[in-house]
Amino acid sequence: MSRVNALLSLAVAASLTVALGACQDQKKAGGPAPAAGPVEVAVTTIEPQRLAVTTELPGRTAAFRVAEIRPQVSGIVLKRFFQEGSDVKAGDQLYQIDPATYEAALAVAQADIQKAEANLQAARNKAARYNDLVRNSVVSKQDYDDAMASLKQNEAQLAAAKAAHNLARINLDYTKVFAPISGRIGKSAVTEGALVTANQATALATIQQLDPIYVDVTQTASQLMQLRHAMESGRIRPAEPGKIPVSLFLHAAEAPYAQRGELQFSDVTVDPGTSSVQLRAVFPNPNRDLLPGLFVRARVEQGVAEGAIAVPQAAVTRGPNGGAQVFVVGEDNKATLRPIKTERAVGNAWLVSDGLRPGERIVVEGLQKVRPGAEVKPIPAPSTVAALPAPGAH
C-alpha cells in the first residue's frame, strides 16, 4: 500500500513540473509587459490679467499726535480737573498750581512800572527845562547832556519794568495748565498737594489723539525699488491717481478693519541694520477701536498691473541656481522645464516678467510625477490664482 502512495506522489510532482514549464513558455511567448501610459497632470492656460499689486506688511499703530503735559512753573498742585482715561479738548484746564507767589510777583512788577513811569515823567520835565536854559546859556551843555541821558535811562527802566510785568503775568497764567491738543488723556502722575517744578522730566499726564491714527509699517528697500522701476516702465500704474489705499487686518482676523486708510509717506532713509524703509499710513478711527501699540498687518495696494502674467506659486519650482522654473506642456503634450523671471508675489501667485507667453499651458498639479521631455496627459485645472481686490475696494 505504501508503494502505491509513493507512486501517486511522484505522478503529482511530475504534473506540477510540466504545468510550471508551460506557464513559463507562455510568458516568454507573450513578450515584455506593456509600458505605462502618460502621467496625468493638471494644467492651466496662461492668460493676461488685470491684477492689483498688493503687499502685506507688518506694522504697529501709533497716535496721530502726542502731547506730554509738563509744568512751566514750580509750585504745589491745588487741583486736577480731568478724569483719567477721558477725552479732553484743546484748551481745557487740566491742573491748577498754587498762584499766590506769582500773583505777588505780578503786583511787584506793576508797582515797578508805576515807579518807572513817575521817574520818566520827572526826567522828561527836567530835559524840557534844560532845553530852554541851554539856549540862553543859563546851564552848561554838560548839564543838558546829563539830563538827556537820564531821560533815556528812565525810558529804558520803564521798558524793563513792562517786560518784567509781562513775564510775571505769563508765569501767573502758567499756573493754569491747559490741554494743548484734543485727545484721550492717560493717568495722572501727580495728585493734589504734589510739588512740581518747571520743565521737569516727568510728565504730569499724556494726551494722545487717536482719530485719525497712524500705522507704521516697514518694507524692504529692494521691493520698494522694484516697484518704482515697474511704475517707471509702465508695467504697474497707481491704483488711484495720487493715492495709495491701505487695508488693515487685526491679529489673525481674516476680515479687514472697517475703515480704509491711505499711505501718507515713505521714509527717505534706509535702515542699515534691516535694509528696510518705513512707511506710514493714516486711518480714520472714529470709534477708538485702534489703540497705539497694536500689532497689525497692512495690505498696501501699491498699483495695478494691466495685462499681467501670473502663475500659481504651487506651479513654480526652483532650479539648482535658485532660479524659478515651470513645466510647460507643448502641443505634443510633452513637458518641458523652462526658466522664468518672477518679480514679486501677488496674492497666491507670482507675477512673471519674462519666460511665458499668453496661451501656453503650465503644470500646476502633479509636478512630482513629471520628467523633462516626458509625455503627459493634461487635464484642465480650475483657476488657482486667487481673485484679488479691485482698486478702491476691500
Residue 214 in this model has a pLDDT that exceeds 90 = yes
Pairing, β 39-45 against β 376-380: parallel
Residue 379 in this model has a pLDDT that exceeds 80 = yes
Can you give the pLDDT at residue 153? 95
Distance, CA of 242 to CA of 238 (rounded, Å): 8
What pLDDT digit, counting tens, does each position of 329-368 carry? 998 999 999 999 887 777 788 888 888 989 999 999 988 8
Residue 379: half-sphere exposure toward Cβ, Cα within 13 Å: 7
C-alpha dihedral sign at 27, 28, 30, 36: positive
Global model pTM greater than 0.75: no
Average pLDDT of the segment spanning 374-385: 80
Domains of the chain and CATH, by start:
40-51+307-380 (2.40.420.20), 53-63+209-305 (2.40.30.170), 71-98+175-202 (2.40.50.100), 100-174 (1.10.287.470)
pLDDT interval class at 202 (50, 70, 90): very high
- Cα angle for residues 163, 165, 171 (degrees, 5° grid): 105
What pLDDT digit, counting tens, does each position of 254-274 carry? 678 889 999 887 777 888 888
286 prior amide bond cis, ω within 30: no
Q: Which residues contact 158 (CB under 8 A, 6 or more apart)?
A: 113, 116, 117, 119, 120
